[in-house]
Each structure stands twice: as C-alpha cells, then as structure tokens.
Chains A and B, each alone.
Chain A
Amino acid sequence: GAGVSQSPSNKVTEKGKDVELRCDPISGHTALYWYRQSLGQGLEFLIYFQGNSAPDKSGLPSDRFSAERTGGSVSTLTIQRTQQEDSAVYLCASSLGPPGDWGTDTQYFGPGTRLTVL
C-alpha cells in the first residue's frame, strides 16, 4: 500500500513568513510523529499524535511551532515567523499502533520536507 507522504517536498521561504507542512500517514495508522533533521545531525523529536490528540508536545522548540491532526489522518505542522535556524528537513512518521505496542509501534517515515529559510 501507499507509504507516508509529505508535501511540499521542498519549501523556500523568507525569514518571518509562516509555513505549513503536511503529512499523510499510512492508511489505518493511529500514531503520527513529527521530527526534524538538521544537516548532518540526528533526528530531533517534535511531537506525537495518537488519533487527533497530542499527548506529547515536549519536543516543539518554541511557541512558533504548532501542529494539528484532523480525522485521525492528515497532520499539519505550522511554523510561524520562521527563522533561519528553522531550516532543516522535517520528517513525518506513522505507526499502526500506539507507542509501546510491541510489533505495531514500528515507525515508517515519509520522504520529508526540506525547509530553507532565507
């Protein structure tokens, strides 16, 4: 079946502008995760959704970052007043079951959105 999809694949914006990044998880996957990866760095956890609720927002780096998920499916990550340090690849992942459910909590990643803030 189809994997995790993300759009846009690339986004170039000017400092101070708002951006929206979209993630379509694998159909039927209840859990959805956002990460970001700066050049040459590991993955940094941002936020996790179980269904439409986000029990863990601890990774969001500032109040300029927000995310929502509707209908237990599509999620949008919004960055307001973008800064140059926001430049990174933003990765979305989904898993069939909730975290901790052995065997169904494996996360599958989308292709990412490369965000460049000029």
Chain B
Amino acid sequence: QKEVEQNSGPLSVPEGAIASLNCTYSDRGSQSFFWYRQYSGKSPELIMFIYSNGDKEDGRFTAQLNKASQYVSLLIRDSQPSDSATYLCAVPFEGGYNKLIFGAGTRLAVHP
C-alpha cells in the first residue's frame, strides 16, 4: 500500500455542486494533514491543514479527518470553474515530520 493514496481522477462536477476529494494514508501515527491545490504549471498552494479528528471549515472548504479509518477528505461547496486544479494530500512520514509524503493528486474539473 502506498503511504498516501488518492484517486487520480479526473473528478468532474457541475458548477455549484459539492466536490468531495478523498485521501487515505498508511501511518497510524500521523498527526497532521495538509491539502494543497496546484493549478497546471504552477506550484502547490496550501488550502487547509487539520490536526484533530472531525471537521474543519474554512469558507467553502471543509477538511474531514478520521484517524481510526485513516482517511482525510476535502469538501468544496458551491464548486466554481476556478476550483479546477489538482488537489494534493500530504502527510508527514512515519513520525519523522521532516518529510511530507504527497499523494499523486486528484484532478478536479468543474464545468459550467
């Protein structure tokens, strides 16, 4: 099993819908989780980070963490065409926080 797994997509949703992006990780000891957005040809930019079980909301974005099931998800409400990008999940490596392990990313396409 890869350390961080994401469905590569593309995930296609209509404008205004909720986009749900999922990420599973292998290290039960992982404590912090990051979601980055990367537009084509650009560098990743931080969207959300979450440390505790449950939901964390920031504007149209909600991160959900379930440590028991080892998954973290990102919900985007009222999806806009400008949300079309690749979303990367990142998890610190096996208690060694100096290394973030990135998933391969899920490509999201929001169509008008």
Residues of A within 8 A of B (CB): 31, 33, 35, 41-43, 45, 48, 50, 55-56, 58-59, 91, 98-100, 102, 105-112
Residues of B within 8 A of A35 (CB): 102
User: Does B99 lie at the interface of the complex (its beta carbon under 8 Å from any beta carbon of A)?
Assistant: yes
Asked if A106 and B101 make an inter-chain contact with CB atoms under 8 angstroms apart, the answer reads no
Asked if A99 and B92 make an inter-chain contact with CB atoms under 8 angstroms apart, the answer reads yes
Asked if A112 and B104 make an inter-chain contact with CB atoms under 8 angstroms apart, the answer reads no
Expressed in whole angstroms, the Cα–Cα distance for A26 and B105 within the complex equals 25
Asked if A111 and B42 make an inter-chain contact with CB atoms under 8 angstroms apart, the answer reads yes
Asked if A105 and B44 make an inter-chain contact with CB atoms under 8 angstroms apart, the answer reads no
Asked if A43 and B46 make an inter-chain contact with CB atoms under 8 angstroms apart, the answer reads no
Residues of A within 8 A of B49 (CB): 106
Residues of A within 8 A of B90 (CB): 43
Q: On chain B, which size bracket covers the interface? A: 20 to 34
Expressed in whole angstroms, the Cα–Cα distance for A41 and B104 within the complex equals 6
Residues of A within 8 A of B32 (CB): 102, 105
Return the contact of B98 from the options A99, A106, A109, A110 (Cβ within 8 A).
A99
Expressed in whole angstroms, the Cα–Cα distance for A40 and B56 within the complex equals 29
Which single residue of chain A is at the shortest CB-CB distance from B103?
Answer: A42
Q: How far is the CB of B91 from chain A (nearest CB, A)?
A: 12
Residues of A within 8 A of B46 (CB): 106-108
Expressed in whole angstroms, the Cα–Cα distance for A98 and B103 within the complex equals 22
Residues of A within 8 A of B82 (CB): none
Asked if B100 and A45 make an inter-chain contact with CB atoms under 8 angstroms apart, the answer reads yes
Q: Which of B92, B93, B98, B101 has the most CB of A within 10 A?
A: B98
